[in-house]
Amino acid sequence: MIDIRLVREHTEAVAKALARRGVARGEVEALVAADSEARRLVAARDELRGRVKTLSRQVGEARRAGDSTRAADLAEESRRLGDAERAAGAEAEAAQRRVHEQLLWLPNLPADDAPDGAGPDDNAVVRRWPGSPRRYAEHQRVAHWEVGAALGILDLDRGARLSGSMFPLFRGDGSRLLRALTAFALERHADAFEEIRPPTLVRTDTMVSTGHLPKFADEAYAMERDGLWAIPTAEVPLTSMYRGEILAEAQLPLRLTAATACFRREAGAAGRDTRGLLRVHEFDKVELFAYATAEQAAEVHADMLGRVESLVQALDLEYRVLDLCTGDLGNSAARTFDIEVYAPGSDMWLEVSSISWFRDYQARRADVRYRPDGGGPPRFVHTLNGSALAWARIWAALVEVGRQPDGAVVLPDALAGYLGGRRTIR
């Protein structure tokens, strides 16, 4: 969440920054007013609390002096003020909760160099690889759901029979391809990232820490009986691994990676690109994550982006890098680069990774700080994350790009070592 002191002391600057994201000035003004009221109520409670303490001391003095009448009068006044102090305390706590709730819903401030825009159409294409668009043969212009069905490696009908639509079932070499992609990515990141296998069900406060709750509750799967949520991304448990802790600056940047299943309702996706693997409720993904200082964040962000690009290049998929505009940034992000690969059979650019820098927005929610080497009070870390990669759409693009005239699929050289030396699916 945004630092309330920043909102309080630099209201105009915060309002202008959030206006770039489409947040009405009235929301910021309402937060400032709520914060002012909460501070007034806290001050009133603290004044009553001080008077009660003074009276308690005076009661003791009167009793020691043998003045029982005065002691009784003071005790009665102390009880009366104590009741008022408890009522004021409850009112102050309610006001503070309202401020906290407003902060939870407010998006992050966009980075100064994030491009302005209203939505996806305003995202800036930074670069594409290779430099010139590729040409694709007619045999590559077959959608992956048709290729997968013909080869017996993707069974959408049986997946739907088991769990409903948008839950894919992979078979044989289709399953092996997913496993190979995961092993390939984890090995590529092992030089700098510690591999984690986190739980895929987490508590509500873990989801709140990343900003997925409360705003995106409709997009998540909840186990209400147990108070748990299925993770939409490994970013969620990794962000809270050190929740409530203070790290040493020497530990930073602290880099983590995880391969998990991810679950998303895609509640707003009805009728939008829902064929095949374009939008699914469950998919496997390898995530990169880091805690860093503010000074380290830019370099860590660039390193993550470079790693993701190197993966896509190794898979020999045509891609482009988008600098997301302020109107398309995720709620918690200050700056995001998306990577989209081209799938010739679907004739679409498919988003396969978002590499984001959150500043201290998530760390404030999760209360993750570090102690500076040079001394001074603890500071909130900056968090960064990126998909490296989300496999459903990568799988789709590989199957479409690799399709041969005879219907077989040839996979990139980079995966041969993870498929027993084989590259062809027949």
Mean pLDDT over the full length of the chain: 96
In a domain, 112, yes or no: no
Q: How far is the C-alpha of 393 from the C-alpha of 399, rounded, in Å?
A: 10
Residues 229 and 97 in one domain: no
Residues 100 and 125 in one domain: no
Residues 26 and 71 in one domain: yes
- Look at residues 52, 76, 105 and tell me which one is the last residue of a structural domain: 105
Neighbours of 56 (CB within 10 A): 15
User: What is the per-residue pLDDT across 42-100, written as a single tens digit (0 to 9) for each?
Assistant: 999 999 999 999 999 999 999 999 999 999 999 999 999 999 999 999 999 999 999 99
Residue 228 and residue 202 in contact, taking contact as beta carbons nearer than 8 Å:
yes
Residues 136 and 80 in one domain: no
Tally of domains in the chain: 2
Q: Which long-range contacts (CB under 8 A, 24 or more apart) does 301-306 make?
A: 301/335, 301/355, 301/357, 301/384, 303/192, 304/355, 304/384, 304/385, 304/386, 304/388, 305/337, 305/355, 305/386
In a domain, 289, yes or no: yes
The arithmetic mean of pLDDT across residues 205-232, rounded, is 96
Question: Cα–Cα distances in Å, from 127 out to 176, 252, 319, 321, 325?
Answer: 32, 30, 9, 6, 15
CA angle 369, 370, 376 (to 5 degrees): 110
Sequence length of the chain is 426
Q: How far is the C-alpha of 313 from the C-alpha of 393, rounded, in Å?
A: 15
User: What is the per-residue pLDDT across 313-329, written as a single tens digit (0 to 9) for each?
Assistant: 999 999 999 999 999 99
Query: For the chain, how are helix, strand and coil distributed in percent, rounded to 5?
Result: 45, 20, 35
Residues 275 and 360 in one domain: yes
CA angle 269, 275, 278 (to 5 degrees): 70
Domain membership of residue 227 as a residue range: 120-425
- Predicted local confidence at residue 324, as pLDDT: 98
The arithmetic mean of pLDDT across residues 164-190, rounded, is 97
The pLDDT confidence band at residue 273, using thresholds 50, 70 and 90, is: confident
**CA dihedral sign of residues 296, 210, 234, 110:** negative
- Predicted local confidence at residue 269, as pLDDT: 58
CATH number at residue 361: 3.30.930.10
Q: Are strands 382-390 and 409-410 parallel, antiparallel or unpaired?
A: unpaired
In a domain, 115, yes or no: no
User: What is the per-residue pLDDT across 229-268, written as a single tens digit (0 to 9) for each?
Assistant: 999 999 999 999 999 999 999 999 999 999 999 999 987 6
Is residue 271's pLDDT more than 60? no
Residues 278 and 367 in one domain: yes
Looking only at Cα atoms, what is the longest distance across the chain? Answer: 106
Residues 96 and 171 in one domain: no
- Predicted local confidence at residue 274, as pLDDT: 81
Closest CA to 356 of 157, 114, 164, 163: 114
- Look at residues 57, 78, 105 and tell me which one is the last residue of a structural domain: 105
Is residue 272's pLDDT more than 70? no
Is residue 199's pLDDT more than 60? yes
Is residue 155's pLDDT more than 60? yes
In a domain, 110, yes or no: no
Q: How far is the C-alpha of 367 from the C-alpha of 301, rounded, in Å?
A: 21
Is residue 344's pLDDT more than 70? yes
- Look at residues 44, 73, 105 and tell me which one is the last residue of a structural domain: 105
Residues 192 and 299 in one domain: yes
- What is the percentage of the chain residues whose pLDDT exceeds 90? 97
Which residue's structure tokens are 């630092």?
3
In a domain, 17, yes or no: yes
- Predicted local confidence at residue 266, as pLDDT: 85
Residues 95 and 148 in one domain: no
Residue 323 and residue 337 in contact, taking contact as beta carbons nearer than 8 Å:
yes
The pLDDT confidence band at residue 270, using thresholds 50, 70 and 90, is: low
Residues 78 and 222 in one domain: no
CATH number at residue 24: 1.10.287.40
Residues 132 and 26 in one domain: no
Q: Kindly state the tokens that stand for 165.
A: 């639509």
Residues 82 and 147 in one domain: no
In a domain, 21, yes or no: yes
In a domain, 113, yes or no: no
User: What is the per-residue pLDDT across 274-291, written as a single tens digit (0 to 9) for each?
Assistant: 899 999 999 999 999 999
Q: Are strands 221-223 and 228-230 parallel, antiparallel or unpaired?
A: antiparallel
In a domain, 346, yes or no: yes
